[in-house]
């Protein structure tokens, strides 16, 4: 009787009456459409006279060629070798499918909080001014500056535990610290609930375990080099599931189809220098523009100097990280109901309001979710389902945090061009002038000519600046059309958000009086 020995995961043995097959290096479960192995074959009575070869056992031509060479080398009939190989392939297929089933049924090991850790995390989540304390702890963990962006990113990462997670894309020039910000905030999420990707093909996504990515945070360090994975990522974000069919081929060309399914939902975060390229993905995400101001530069460099001088308390940073991670572990999925949702209307200036409106309402739910230990649990009278309700304070917090995001979504300019224009306005105000030349700005801002030309062209096309002939020479000078346009846009957004809060307040007062 033939014997198939898999006791050594790196050295399988398959023995027939005449032959002994050694599968060196074991068998991978990655890629069910192929079965590439390293084979060593010898006669039972002659272990030293062996034939070795790398082969894909699902490639019929390669297998047939292998059979003929092996028959010649060992001086055995091809029919005996063919039958033995078919039996070996069948054994390997069964073993691999059993291994896959076993792996899929394995649940991720859950981190068990000690009583002390659980109590500290619960006390923190129940404390007053939770968001302010959270932002302070994020800073204590080593995230320098970026006060608004870091809290926004942390809350987006928190949404991974919800049925409709949020996503974010960080924009900034090379060396601006976008990847550093993302990775530092991600360290505040439990390690078992996040996955960092540096290099991945589109097909690779389909070979994760069925629920391996479910409710996980997926981090992509550089979207510029991840074009292939953007489509499956969008599908996981939108449809919360991706499926691919693969064919497992046998030696005779026969095969069967197996569906590879990976389930979401997932929360995705990525970084890029190219804002305009990722429109499809950015529509599904919050756009975070990294602070590239001189003030932020100084904060980072001051921290670097103190770290080099040994004046940073690393132990305190680690304690802050651990407390925030444990707080995340305490948060449990629960239904959120926003009784004020009908009164929340986005400012008219916001572009693509349908998707932005969904993001806005979901972000309010995230804040409610984060405050779950402070909210009274309620139960649906018809279904008995447990839920908590959004408060007016949650909406106020969301409005404050999202103002820069809504402002960007209402602006005709991209983030980099807007930053340039606002810097230009400040420069001219300090100078006490209204006109400027390209040469002057290139020298003052130390900006590349190609970059300046791109900014100027967009500003001219959109009507934010105008060009006119210099009366003192033959060159051209430029002038800003409306210095206050951005402040007016900001004021209109603030007014719209405040109006919603006032409307909710008045409705609530009327409701209380009627009761």
Residue of 314, 287, 267 whose CA lies nearest to 178: 287
Domain with 455 in it: what CATH number? 1.10.10.10
Instruction: Give the domain extent around 211.
Output: 115-327
Helix, coil or strand: residue 410: coil
Do 316 and 456 lie in one domain? The reply is no
Do 143 and 275 lie in one domain? The reply is yes
CA 357 from chain center: how many Å?
A: 21
> What DSSP designation does 108 have?
P
Distance separating alpha carbons of residues 56 and 59, to the nearest angstrom: 5
Distance separating alpha carbons of residues 32 and 247, to the nearest angstrom: 7
- Select from 305, 327, 349 the last residue of a domain: 327
Do 54 and 83 lie in one domain? The reply is yes
Find the Cα–Cα–Cα–Cα dihedral 213, 218, 220, 221, rounded to 10°. -130
Question: How open is the CA angle 253-255-261, to the nearest 5 degrees?
Answer: 145
> Do the Cβ atoms of 168 and 153 come closer than 8 Å?
yes
Helix, coil or strand: residue 337: strand
Backbone angles phi, psi at 449, to 5 degrees: -60, -40
Give, for all 515 residues of the chain, the pLDDT tens digit. 578 888 888 899 999 988 999 999 888 766 666 788 999 999 998 888 899 999 989 888 889 999 999 999 998 899 989 999 999 998 898 888 887 776 655 554 567 889 999 999 999 999 999 999 999 999 999 999 999 999 999 999 999 999 999 999 888 888 888 889 999 999 999 998 998 876 666 677 777 888 888 899 999 887 766 666 777 777 787 788 888 877 665 545 566 677 788 888 899 998 888 765 555 555 678 888 888 888 999 999 999 999 999 999 999 999 999 999 999 999 999 999 999 999 999 888 887 788 889 999 999 999 999 999 999 999 988 888 999 999 999 999 999 999 988 888 888 888 888 989 999 999 999 998 888 998 899 999 988 888 899 999 999 999 999 988 765 656 788 999 999 999 999 999 999 999 999 989 887 766 555 55
| Domains contained in the chain, number | 3
Distance separating alpha carbons of residues 268 and 319, to the nearest angstrom: 26
Q: Hey, how many other C-beta atoms are within 10 angstroms of the C-beta on 243?
A: 12
Does residue 37 lie within any of the structural domains? yes
pTM (global) more than 0.85: no
DSSP string covering 114-150, please? PHHHHHHHHHHHTSSSHHHHHHHHHHHTT--S-HHHH
- Select from 283, 308, 327 the last residue of a domain: 327
Do 93 and 151 lie in one domain? The reply is no
Does residue 512 lie within any of the structural domains? no
Question: How open is the CA angle 346-349-352, to the nearest 5 degrees?
Answer: 75
Distance separating alpha carbons of residues 153 and 156, to the nearest angstrom: 5
- Select from 283, 310, 327 the last residue of a domain: 327
β partners of residue 386? 379
Helical H runs in 293-387? 294-308, 314-330, 353-370
User: What are the distances in angstroms from CA 459 to CA 76, 404, 464?
Assistant: 80, 21, 5
Do 97 and 180 lie in one domain? The reply is no
Which region holds residue 432: left if phi is over 0, alpha if psi is between -120 and 50, else beta? Answer: left
Question: How open is the CA angle 320-171-207, to the nearest 5 degrees?
Answer: 80
Does residue 497 lie within any of the structural domains? no
Angle between the N-to-C axes of helices 392-409 and 147-158, in degrees from 0 to 180, rounded to the nearest 10: 110
Structure tokens, 210:
């069925």
């Amino acid at each position: 009787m033939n014997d198939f020995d898999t006791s050594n995961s790196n050295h399988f043995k398959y023995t027939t009456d005449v032959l002994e097959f050694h599968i060196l290096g074991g068998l991978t479960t990655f890629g069910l459409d192929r079965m590439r192995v390293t084979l060593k074959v010898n006669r039972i009575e002659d272990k030293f006279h062996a034939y070795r070869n790398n082969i894909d056992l699902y490639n019929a031509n390669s297998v047939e060629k292998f059979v003929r060479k092996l028959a010649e080398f060992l001086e055995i009939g091809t029919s005996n070798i063919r039958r033995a190989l078919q039996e070996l392939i069948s054994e390997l297929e069964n073993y691999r499918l059993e291994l896959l089933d076993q792996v899929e049924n394995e649940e991720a090991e859950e981190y068990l909080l000690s009583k002390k850790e659980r109590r500290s995390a619960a006390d923190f989540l129940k404390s007053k001014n939770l968001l302010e304390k959270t932002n302070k702890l994020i800073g204590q963990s080593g995230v320098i500056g970026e006060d608004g962006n870091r809290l926004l990113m942390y809350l987006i990462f928190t949404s991974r535990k919800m049925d409709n997670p949020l996503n974010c894309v960080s924009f900034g020039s090379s060396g601006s610290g976008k990847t550093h910000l993302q990775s530092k905030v991600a360290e505040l999420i439990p390690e078992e609930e996040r996955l960092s990707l540096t290099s991945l093909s589109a097909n690779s996504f389909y070979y994760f375990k069925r629920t391996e990515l479910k409710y996980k945070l997926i981090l992509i360090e550089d979207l510029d080099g991840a074009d292939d994975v953007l489509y499956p990522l969008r599908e996981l974000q939108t449809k919360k599931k991706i499926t691919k069919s693969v064919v497992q081929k046998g030696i005779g060309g026969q095969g069967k189809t197996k569906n590879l399914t990976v389930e979401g939902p997932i929360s995705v975060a990525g970084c890029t220098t190219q804002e305009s390229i990722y429109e499809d993905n950015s529509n599904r995400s919050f756009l975070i523009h990294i602070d590239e101001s001189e003030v932020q530069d100084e904060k980072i460099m001051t921290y670097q100097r103190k770290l080099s001088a040994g004046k940073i308390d690393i132990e305190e940073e680690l304690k802050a990280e651990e407390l925030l991670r444990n707080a995340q572990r305490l948060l449990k999925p629960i239904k959120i109901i926003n009784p004020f949702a009908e009164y929340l209307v986005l400012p008219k200036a916001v572009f693509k309001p349908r998707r932005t409106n969904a993001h806005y309402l979901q972000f309010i739910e995230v804040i409610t979710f984060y405050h779950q230990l402070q909210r009274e649990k309620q139960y649906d009278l018809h279904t008995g389902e447990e839920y908590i309700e959004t408060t007016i304070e949650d909406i106020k917090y969301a409005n404050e945090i999202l103002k820069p995001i809504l402002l960007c979504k209402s602006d005709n300019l991209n983030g980099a061009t807007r930053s340039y224009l606002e810097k230009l306005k400040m420069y001219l105000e300090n100078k006490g002038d209204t006109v400027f030349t390209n040469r002057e700005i290139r020298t003052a801002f130390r900006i590349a000519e190609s970059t300046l030309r791109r900014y100027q062209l967009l500003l001219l096309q959109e009507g934010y600046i105008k060009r006119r002939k210099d009366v003192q020479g033959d060159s051209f000078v430029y002038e800003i059309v409306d210095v206050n346009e951005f402040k007016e846009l900001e004021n209109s957004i603030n007014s719209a958000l405040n109006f919603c809060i006032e409307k909710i307040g008045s409705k609530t007062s009327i409701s209380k009086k009627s009761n």
